[in-house]
Structure 1
Amino acid sequence: MSSISSSMSMDMKLNLFFFLVLFASTISSSLAKGSLQQTLLPSEFNDCSNASQARHLLEDESQAQKSVDLAQGYMSNDDLEWAIQEIGQRCSNISRIYSIGKSVNGFPLWVIEISDKPGEEETEPAFKFIGNVHGDEPVGRELLIFLANWLCDNHLKDPLATLIVENVHLHLLPSMNPDGFSLKKRGNANNIDLNRDFPDQFIFFNDDEDSRQPETRAIMNWLRDIRFTASATLHGGALVANYPWDGSDDKRTKYYGCPDDDAFRFMSSIYSHSHYNMSSSKEFLGGITNGAAWYPLYGGMQDWNYIHAGCFELTLEICDNKWPSAAELPILWRYNKMSMLNLVASLVKTGVHGRIYSSGDGRPLPGSITVSGINYTVRAGKTFGDYHRILAPRDKYEVVATMPGYKSKNTTIWLDEGPVTLDFVLDPEVSVKGSVLQNIYKCDCNNESKQEFVHFLWGAHLEVFFVVIVILGFLLLLFHRRAKVKISTSRQSAGAKRTVEV
């Protein structure tokens, strides 16, 4: 009996011990979660973009990142793919999902197109956002999913969302470097910095396109397929809107502006001043910077876009911390939301837009648009002859339209506020000699009959031909004299009535 009691007593003690352990671990866990949540959700005035304080939200992020997985709370590549496909299904009326290629490790580079007519060619401008160029800068890929979902939910409710969906073809590439994200490193799977892998105007290297990284080639082919008007890539590590040129001719750190420096400063300022606090930066005046003045780089994507693809691209550094806690992502979305929307909307709210036609048959012409004083050419589309020229608002610009085989035309526009629609109708450059030759070639007559008739006139019958000409001339002279007499008689009977011929 005593042995049974002691056994029961031992079981009760063991059960009580396990219960206390379980209770203690539960309390510890809840306290840890509360402490972590309190640390990860600071005041909105204490975000990662405050350059005067720490360059991140976490007070001691260096220690936290040693014990916490950086990617915790971020979408994996599979999660990202699912989110993109889900947007395509949920918003199929205003979206299209497609891939521009694959990464080194074979992951598709998925794109979300948002438009009222996705996949159709129109006269509307196209804009692209690219995120995750560097694998260890993942905020952009998350923000682009936020953007796509917001436009999907609000395109019939919010005027700005409606404007974008109905007037712009917006393309979102959330991750250009999915392999780098998986590896948690800057470069791709081949350890190549993709923002140093494009052809450069100052340093000639890697000219063989086939030797470039597959992600780089995918971007280059993408811009051959779609004529983008403007673009922006989302990076991390600073808080500033960066614009060309990224490098300089002598490799020195200095301000080195491109021909459209005013337009790029205007675009950068739209993003900076729409941001929660980018424009109040103490490091960058107005929250914008010329790339070469900040630090020169070569083989960058934004310079290549402007030079080779006619696309005005910005490099946007959207958070001082490259890889902030996932809990900060909704805050970063709120800080960047209006900047992203206003930058896209600026394509149709400013600048000069129009089409080029032929006066002969009215067909669209794939001509060129230049602006006096700016050494840069914007090309019109082949299908509709449409063009979209980004310009900073100012008093006036002289716009010139040209097309080989046609006379150029120019006119002056004022861009004080709002966009300008300007169509050009160009006249063909055809000489008199050329038109005569063209008429002969279009004649349905038989060339051999013509030659036989000429030989008949200038051969043995030349004398007969001369007599016929003399007789016809004599008859015309008699007819002319009789007509003059008749007209004189009628004038005397009609009085002072006058006839004017124009």
Structure 2
Amino acid sequence: MRKLRFVFNLLILTAICILLPPIAARGGHSDYIQLGDRNSSFHGTGRSLFSQEERRPSLELARGYMTNDGLEKAMKDFTKRCSKISRLYSIGKSVNGFPLWVIEISDRPGEIEAEPAFKYIGNVHGDEPVGRELLLRLANWICDNYEKDPLAQMIVENVHLHIMPSLNPDGFSVRKRNNANNVDLNRDFPDQFFPINEDLSLRQPETRAIMTWLRDIRFTASATLHGGALVANFPWDGTEDKRKYYYACPDDETFRFLARIYSKSHRNMSLSNEFQEGITNGAGWYPIYGGMQDWNYIHGGCFELTLEISDNKWPKASELPTIWEYNRMSMLNLVASLVKTGVHGRIFSLDQGKPLPGLVVIKGINYTVKAHQAYADYHRLLAPGQKYEVTASSPGYKPKTTSVWLGENAVTADFILIPEASARGNLLRSICDCSYKNYNQPLLTHLFTETNNVITFMLIVVVAFLCFLLQRRVRFNLWKQRQSSRRSVTV
């Protein structure tokens, strides 16, 4: 009798396990994916550390989504229709040779300006296609509204927005998570904790394209669009001991602020019962290694979020208009945050009055932001409502520090750095001090009693006048760069 009861209970348990709804790769649920837990210590709420064999979505479910050829045509048609504020370019090719297309949106596309840059990337996983559809809708919405909508106008005029709808066209074409080499692209980047993928030649072409892209363009922030949950994820994505717990990066407060911008602008992300405020630390959800998000922050100087934008990884195409409306303001507000908040400015040299490439650090935050090599502009994202001590430095110059109170609006803090002490530098600074208190009376008496006292006096006047013109030039350059909407500080 006991044996029969044991067999009966075992059959019931087996049936329950079979009938349980499958779990999607990044949380939430899916109507087609089946995953196994290869290591229970890494098992979080839906995300999976390892890549597993997955059952592909049916052709019926994929109907209504743009094909790779259709997406390429749509992007080319867009840049023709909206050529005034956009351009189309490719950062490389997939394993199967499909171009990795990017749309840039700006009032001066293709030019380098003293403005922040933002990138959106979709379809990192081939079986998460919602992002590619939403990103093309975002581009078209901005094109249709930038002349009449203040938010769209702000983005076009003050940000260089780069949109890559599909990083994994090969995976999408066969409706599978990994690329054509069966590699998960979000596990293929160099990792800070474990020496994986250290050999550049072994990385996937899509991964190498992203890494080269960030060397060519200095992005201030970015986001990748995934599916399978509804949450804004931020670094760190992994832990040193591979255990699951909240592991904060140096800019944890800033990342929480950015994640909340997206979540609270969304129709219902912030109402999540699973994630407080609709945001999560990646390692606190479940740790992954070789991810794009942490690599961007460490090596690219780019603040990146991983956005899970739909509970279903591959919803029916008829649901896309609704998903777009739920995410539209979140996507726009996240890009606009680059100019609506934070500390921004440029670094100049006092001796030449030219832009000076340098570094910007915030006291108490172990993270350095680099100013642009050509324009020396920097864009430091920070959580508002605090006082920050900002220091700018450059080799050969004395660092300068200023304190700013960051409220709800952005602050401009420009720096004019003085050369380090040297024989030539001391002479230059003494002349450009534009103050006669540095010249003692005996020296002046000696000068004016010499036979060439008139010439000496004229030289002093000329040098003082040149110094005056130089300072005016520096201040004029700073004034041209300031935006009227920001509170400005010059140090």
TM-score when scaled to structure 1? 0.74
Q: Secondary structure at the match of 1:69?
A: helix
Which letter does structure 1 place at the counterpart of 2:297? Y
Aligned to 1:77: 68
CA-atom RMSD, angstroms?
Answer: 2.3
Aligned to 2:9: none
Which of the residues 364, 371, 390 maps onto 1:399? 390
Number of matched residues? Answer: 386
Q: Deviations over 1:387-414 (max 9, x none)?
A: 0000000231000001111000000000
Q: Secondary structure at the match of 1:422?
A: strand
Q: How far 1:157 moved relative to its partner?
A: 1.1
Q: How far 1:346 moved relative to its partner?
A: 0.4
Q: Secondary structure at the match of 1:423?
A: strand
Which letter does structure 2 place at the counterpart of 1:167? N
Relative distance call for 1:95 and 1:434 in structure 2 (3 A) is closer
Relative distance call for 1:158 and 1:434 in structure 2 (3 A) is closer
Q: Secondary structure at the match of 1:199?
A: coil
1:191 equivalent in alignment to 2:178: no
1:96 equivalent in alignment to 2:73: no
1:372-391 equivalences in 2 (<5 Å):
372-391=363-382
Work out the CA distance in 2 between the residues paired with 1:192 and 1:66. 19
Q: Secondary structure at the match of 1:239?
A: strand
Q: How far 1:68 moved relative to its partner?
A: 5.2
Q: Secondary structure at the match of 2:127?
A: coil
1:284 equivalent in alignment to 2:283: no
Which residues of structure 1 form unaligned runs of 5+? 1-53, 437-475, 481-502
Paired-residue identity, %: 70
Relative distance call for 1:125 and 1:66 in structure 2 (3 A) is closer
Q: How far 1:251 moved relative to its partner?
A: 1.0
Which letter does structure 2 place at the counterpart of 1:409? K
Work out the CA distance in 1 between the residues paired with 2:75 and 2:388. 42
Q: Secondary structure at the match of 1:70?
A: helix
1:365 equivalent in alignment to 2:331: no
Q: How far 1:66 moved relative to its partner?
A: 7.4
Which letter does structure 2 place at the counterpart of 1:147? L
Which letter does structure 2 place at the counterpart of 1:192? V
1:238-317 equivalences in 2 (<5 Å):
238-317=229-308
Relative distance call for 1:409 and 1:237 in structure 2 (3 A) is same
Aligned to 1:325: 316
8 Å Cα contact 2:342/2:410 also seen in 1: yes
1:47-86 equivalences in 2 (<5 Å):
55=29, 69-86=60-77
Q: Deviations over 1:81-113 (max 9, x none)?
A: 000000010000000000000000000000000
Aligned to 1:231: 222
Q: Deviations over 1:99-131 (max 9, x none)?
A: 000000000000000000000000010000000
Which letter does structure 2 place at the counterpart of 1:185? K
Work out the CA distance in 1 between the residues paired with 2:296 and 2:391. 23
Identify the structure with the greater helix proportion: 1
Work out the CA distance in 2 between the residues paired with 1:328 and 1:61. 19
Q: Secondary structure at the match of 2:60?
A: coil
Q: Secondary structure at the match of 2:148?
A: coil
Which letter does structure 1 place at the counterpart of 2:394? M
Relative distance call for 1:433 and 1:97 in structure 2 (3 A) is closer
Relative distance call for 1:270 and 1:224 in structure 2 (3 A) is same
Aligned to 2:399: 408
1:211 equivalent in alignment to 2:202: yes
1:82-231 equivalences in 2 (<5 Å):
82-231=73-222
Work out the CA distance in 1 between the residues paired with 2:135 and 2:214. 19
8 Å Cα contact 2:419/2:425 also seen in 1: no
Which of the residues 333, 350, 361 maps onto 2:341? 350
Work out the CA distance in 1 between the residues paired with 2:385 and 2:127. 40
Relative distance call for 1:422 and 1:90 in structure 2 (3 A) is same
Structure 1's consecutive aligned runs of 4 or more residues displaced over 6 angstroms after TM superposition are 433-436
Q: How far 1:69 moved relative to its partner?
A: 2.2
Q: How far 1:250 moved relative to its partner?
A: 1.3
Which letter does structure 1 place at the counterpart of 2:188? D
Q: Deviations over 1:16-40 (max 9, x none)?
A: xxxxxxxxxxxxxxxxxxxxxxxxx
Which letter does structure 2 place at the counterpart of 1:320? D
Q: Deviations over 1:286-305 (max 9, x none)?
A: 00000000000000001000
Q: How far 1:137 moved relative to its partner?
A: 0.2
Q: Deviations over 1:404-444 (max 9, x none)?
A: 110000000001220000100000003238878xxxxxxxx
Which residues of structure 2 form unaligned runs of 5+? 1-27, 35-55, 428-445, 451-491
Q: Secondary structure at the match of 2:61?
A: coil
Work out the CA distance in 2 between the residues paired with 1:122 and 1:371. 24
Which letter does structure 2 place at the counterpart of 1:302? Q
Q: Secondary structure at the match of 2:195?
A: coil
Relative distance call for 1:139 and 1:67 in structure 2 (3 A) is closer
Q: How far 1:67 moved relative to its partner?
A: 6.5
